[in-house]
Amino acid sequence: MCAAQAVSDEHAPPRCIFPAAKDLPAGIDLRRNLITVPACGDHNMATAKDDEYLMVLLVTHFEDNQVGYNQFATKAVRALKRSPAFVETTFKNASHVLLDGQPTIAFQVDDARFERELDKIVRAVHFHATRRKLLGRITLFPTAFRKMDAELDREIQSVGSLARTFLAEAPRHGENPDAFFYQLSAANAGHGGLMRLVFYGGFEVYSTWPATAVAT
């Protein structure tokens, strides 16, 4: 995305999203053929802590599959144990709540940090899929989060429902769909683009952009 020379390959999503072999039953590999894109040294290495923050957010979602639960119990727990400060910044303003009668916690997400990570992933995945850059503004709809603003929350959920229906027949891409897959309706003929990202089977994020955002 920048003008610097690419010196490495960056994973999209970050590699830490995909469970390592040591955290999986023998013979299972969820790091097969991961998506990578060219990256300069600064932009590849500068976001390691944000990548880890994103991973922890994704694996705490109550609708995740068993892969997500296992990733929380292994990699996420190790990351949190290493740094009390990371626990404090991740689970900001945590409070005890009941979900379907079961005790759990809710906490405040750092929206700006989360959106920077997802913005990067959407642009990288789009480039991987189309070999064209997304240079303009994109809009994110993370339906896994609930907003305090009820009207905004309804809008995000509505967009997610419509987008899910629109992409119902679109191919699912990704060699390790239990950890991550995406669906894409690329911008063309004056129409904007739409992407669905699904992490751990239940954490969904939708992204839209105008046709003018795609480099020609």
Contact 197, 121 (CB under 8 A): yes
Q: Kindly give the residue spans of alpha helices, DSSP state H, lying in 30-107.
A: 41-45, 48-59, 66-71, 77-82, 84-90
- Under 8 Å between Cβ of 120 and 12: yes
H or E stretch covering 8: strand 8-11
> Which pLDDT belongs to residue 147?
85
pTM: 0.93
Per-residue pLDDT band for 99 (boundaries 50, 70, 90) equals: confident
| C-beta of residue 171 within 8 angstroms of C-beta of residue 195 | no
Amino acid at site 111: D
Tens of pLDDT, residues 102-140: 899 999 999 999 999 999 999 999 999 999 999 989 999
Q: How confident is the model at residue 190 (pLDDT cuts 50, 70, 90)?
A: low
Q: What is the pLDDT of residues 16-52, one digit of tens each?
A: 999 999 999 999 999 999 999 999 888 877 788 999 9
Q: What's the chain's average pLDDT?
A: 92
